[in-house]
Structure 1
Amino acid sequence: MTGPRATPGAAARLRSAVERSAAQSGIVLDAAQSALLAEVAEAAELWERRADDAPVGVFVHGPAGRGKTRLAAEIFAAIDAPPGAKQRVHFHPFFQELQRRFGARMTARDAIESTVAELLDGARVFFFDELHVHDPGGASLLNRLVAELVARRIPTLLTSNYAPEGLLANPVFHHVVEPSVRLIREHFLVRTLDGGSDYRMVAPAARPERGFGSGRWIAFGARGDAASAARTAGLAPPEPHEPTTVLDGHRALRALAVRRSEATQGVGATAEVWFDFADLLEAPSIAEDYLELAAAFDRWVLVDVPPLSEASREARQRFVGLLDVLVHADAPLTVLARTDRAGLVDISDPPPDLFRTVSRLALLGEGAV
């Protein structure tokens, strides 16, 4: 089987590297994380020895905020493999690439085949983060990916909020994803990570100075207004001349403001975009738009966010997707909302994966006015 280079005592070395890296970040692994690390380290040693009885990979699932991505990323970084032979993929960019290939007038089968082949050619370690499937198209792509991982025996880490049987849970379509479920159960270690705490809900000792968690949630209430709330919070609300169009053609979206600053000594150039919730999320925007915008703008402000019960079903799902993209991009987000975070998600028919959004919004600082 293909795999990373073999080294003596690989399991112990990997555990030590991950624990040391966590400690440098001020993190102490909980009991569940430590137990999972030990199991994955043993699997990694089998991979490095190219053992015939090695699992193809490890599928880690569990509730939001338990440290799945952080731990898997540390393990992935610690696995020894040649430069360029380690491939990490996040859910949304993966499907963006597939859509790009569809746009090149490929058949669905050809697009899936070429996407998977290009992704895996030369890969000796593979990490797919935040796997979730809610439609038959995504299930078909997952089937091809998992089948190819098993056929090539590429050491793989998969993380998800869902157990394999929970993927594409809709009973009308679940049969489409069953080939992946069978292969995962037959060829992967499937482990739950749930130490009982959502660590995103625990206030940090100090707010981060950069990244998604450096943003704020500013609730101004039903009687307030976003502009006044922005000023009170020390932000400059958009002026009447600032609205502009971002993206092109049928994908054009209205932004309240685009603000750029030049690099100065010790501070890099920044690009900040302001969007009204309705302009961005009640419009027919898609995840590909958010990915492109996240690449262009490193700071975001989302204005006049209502309780999701007052938004359309489509806008609710887009909000979940937007948060996925911004967290993955680690882009600071400031939200000016008509409600607090609890009121945002007080809804009788939540969109899929809203639980993950709730966990992520807890990373933002509080800024009620």
Structure 2
Amino acid sequence: MPTPSSRKLASNVLAGQILDSLSMDGINADPTQQQLINVLGESLGASARNSRQGVYIYGPPGRGKTIITNALMTHLPSSRTRRFHFHEFFHQLNSPKNREPGQPLGAIFSQGLERELAGIQVLIFDEFHCTEPGDAMLMGKLIKFCQQHEIQLVTTSNYEPENLLDDDTFHHLVKPIIEIIRHGFEIFKLDHEQDYRLISGSPNDAQGFAKGTLNLVPRTIPVTATETWIEIGYDRIGPAHLTDGCIWITFDQICRTRRNTADYLELATRYSRWHITEIPSSETMPMDEERRLANLIDVFYDKDVEVHLYAEDDLAALGHMLHATEKARLASRLAQLTRHDLERTAASQ
């Protein structure tokens, strides 16, 4: 149960409810997490004055941002609250099914905001970031829409506001967003110096993504597998193989073809268990392939999809060409996969 000191910190009902939810899941909030919970309670609780547009939560991976916002979601009115992950949100808004011939992208996005956020009071937005100029335009529209419609925005991010779109050539595009965040949001850095994802639980108790593995040798596709081709957009991937509810696919097929995040989001809804084979050395992986693999792992993590990777090395160098923050997030997620060196295991038997 929460300690007396944490109860004292939880000065309103919502903060107490969040602490209770974490306690029921066996989680004792650390002091920094308790402070964040109190901030959320003061900003979103029934007695909140809503003087701020929202709460911007940032910090390194694995500090509990998702766990706390999960608990928050359970105590907000479901009819007035929506939650989206960065990739999922923009994929849904820009989906071809919502487009009309010749319609400009800006109009599609604006209509999507009206459709997806109609009537809500709180939007929880995971993985807020701007790494490309286009992100800045879309994020700017999102924040302004929330301002105009008095929607409180709770964001989680690995980036301090000033580090959004950290590129001297394009950083000016994101400065208006940073100004809005600095003056209109409660900004909270969540970092008690412990990446909780690196604290391993029992593999037998793991579910979804955490049930996955990283294996250091090739794996032969089961003889019972049936060959299949995957239709995605106007393209086909294959031949892949299906067996026992799992899909087996090579790195070449999933990361060396013209796949994008929207494709990965779609594929994650079709198959809940994946085996990705023949992953090359992370030390020599080209940046485009590295980013696709990073995006794929990001989507699988967010969708809680079980994935088993078969690689030439332990992927320790994966992300060496990405932004330091992206690399840290990737390493934190890979750390949840159980490691197997099948060659040494076989030799010891």
1:90 to 64, 85, 99: 85
Instruction: Quickly say closer, same or farther: Cα 1:239–1:366, change in 2 above 3 A.
Output: same
- The farther-off stretch of 240-249 and 202-211 is 240-249
Secondary structure class of the residue paired with 1:300: strand
Distance across 1 between alignment mates of 2:279 and 2:249 = 10
Instruction: Quickly say closer, same or farther: Cα 1:314–1:238, change in 2 above 3 A.
Output: farther
Q: Does 1:300 align with 2:300?
A: no
- Give CA deviations for 1:122-167 in whole Å, capped at 9, x if unaligned: 1111100111221111211100100111222212210000011111
| 8 Å Cα contact 2:55-2:154 kept in structure 1 | yes
Partner of 2:329: 356
Distance across 1 between alignment mates of 2:38 and 2:233 = 51
Partner of 1:125: 122
| Count of residues in Structure 1 that have an aligned counterpart in Structure 2 | 330
| 8 Å Cα contact 1:251-1:289 kept in structure 2 | no
- The farther-off stretch of 280-289 and 178-187 is 178-187
In the TM superposition, residue 208 of structure 1 has moved relative to its aligned partner by: 3.0
Distance across 1 between alignment mates of 2:74 and 2:224 = 47
| 8 Å Cα contact 1:316-1:351 kept in structure 2 | no
Query: How does 1:4-43 map onto structure 2 within 5 Å?
Result: 12-43=12-43
| 8 Å Cα contact 1:274-1:300 kept in structure 2 | yes
Instruction: Quickly say closer, same or farther: Cα 1:31–1:206, change in 2 above 3 A.
Output: farther
Secondary structure class of the residue paired with 1:247: strand
In the TM superposition, residue 257 of structure 1 has moved relative to its aligned partner by: 0.8
| 8 Å Cα contact 2:21-2:71 kept in structure 1 | yes
Which amino acid letter does the alignment assign opposite residue 236 of structure 2?
A
- Give CA deviations for 1:197-222 in whole Å, capped at 9, x if unaligned: 111111114543421101111112xx
State the superposition RMSD in angstroms.
2.1
In the TM superposition, residue 325 of structure 1 has moved relative to its aligned partner by: 0.7
Instruction: Quickly say closer, same or farther: Cα 1:34–1:110, change in 2 above 3 A.
Output: same
Secondary structure class of the residue paired with 2:154: strand
Distance across 2 between alignment mates of 1:346 and 1:294 = 22
Distance across 2 between alignment mates of 1:95 and 1:346 = 23
Distance across 1 between alignment mates of 2:66 and 2:124 = 10
Partner of 1:246: 230
Secondary structure class of the residue paired with 1:309: coil
Q: Does 1:367 align with 2:346?
A: no
Structure 2: tracts of 5 or more residues without a match: 1-9, 343-349
Distance across 2 between alignment mates of 1:238 and 1:138 = 42
Q: Percent identity?
A: 27
Instruction: Quickly say closer, same or farther: Cα 1:241–1:158, change in 2 above 3 A.
Output: closer
Secondary structure class of the residue paired with 2:123: strand
| 8 Å Cα contact 1:254-1:280 kept in structure 2 | no
Distance across 2 between alignment mates of 1:335 and 1:129 = 25
Instruction: Quickly say closer, same or farther: Cα 1:204–1:111, change in 2 above 3 A.
Output: same
Structure 1: tracts of 5 or more residues without a match: 1-9, 228-236, 262-270
Q: Does 1:338 align with 2:312?
A: yes
Q: Does 1:200 align with 2:184?
A: no
| 8 Å Cα contact 1:14-1:41 kept in structure 2 | yes
| 8 Å Cα contact 2:64-2:196 kept in structure 1 | yes
Partner of 1:66: 63
Normalised by the length of structure 1, the TM-score is 0.84
Normalised by the length of structure 2, the TM-score is 0.88
Partner of 2:257: 283
Q: Does 1:215 align with 2:189?
A: no
1:256 to 217, 231, 240: 240
Which amino acid letter does the alignment assign opposite residue 96 of structure 1?
H
In the TM superposition, residue 334 of structure 1 has moved relative to its aligned partner by: 0.9
| 8 Å Cα contact 1:244-1:254 kept in structure 2 | yes
In the TM superposition, residue 329 of structure 1 has moved relative to its aligned partner by: 0.9
Distance across 1 between alignment mates of 2:148 and 2:233 = 42
Partner of 2:346: none
| 8 Å Cα contact 1:147-1:183 kept in structure 2 | no
Distance across 2 between alignment mates of 1:18 and 1:206 = 27
